[in-house]
Structure formats: C-alpha cells, structure tokens
Amino acid sequence: MPYAAIFNVAIIVAFVLAFIKAEEIKVKIILASIMALIFILPQVVYMPPMSWLWWLHYIAKIVFGLCCVIYIKWTGMAY
C-alpha cells in the first residue's frame, strides 16, 4: 500500500479545506507558499532517503498538515 501517497493526499485535503476557510488574502498566500515549498523542494533539491534533509522535509510535511487541521478546527469548520 502506498503510504506516502495516502499521506500526501491527506495533507492536500487539509490544505484545501484550510485554504477555502481562510478569509484573509495574507493567510491564503502563506498557506499556498508553504504548500508549494513542501511539494516542490524534493524536485529541486536531491534528498537521499533517510538523510537529515529528508527527515527535515518529512517533519515539515507532518507539521504543516497538523497546522492545517488545527486551523480548520479553530475556525469552526469541523467539530
């Protein structure tokens, strides 16, 4: 089972919901910029598996996904 793909889809869904819920343009720009960096960085920078840069990228994806979920809960979109 492709767990990495499921993980990426979950982050994208959380991002889309947070992006839709964001009312200010500044918040939308910040969310979109971070999302672009997270998904473009592996295409630009070579990251060997299990290197410190790979772990940093992986943790950044987890933190960004959790922050999107927290933002969705905080704004009252989900219960």
Reported confidence tier of residue 71, pLDDT bands at 50, 70, 90: confident
In contact, 37 and 46? CB cutoff 8 Å: no
pLDDT classification of 77: cutoffs 50, 70, 90: confident
Q: For residue 77, what are the CA distances in angstroms to 10, 52, 53, 54, 69?
A: 17, 36, 34, 32, 10
Question: How many beta carbons lie within 10 A of that of residue 38, not counting itself?
Answer: 18
Cα 74–Cα 29–Cα 63 angle in degrees, nearest 5: 50
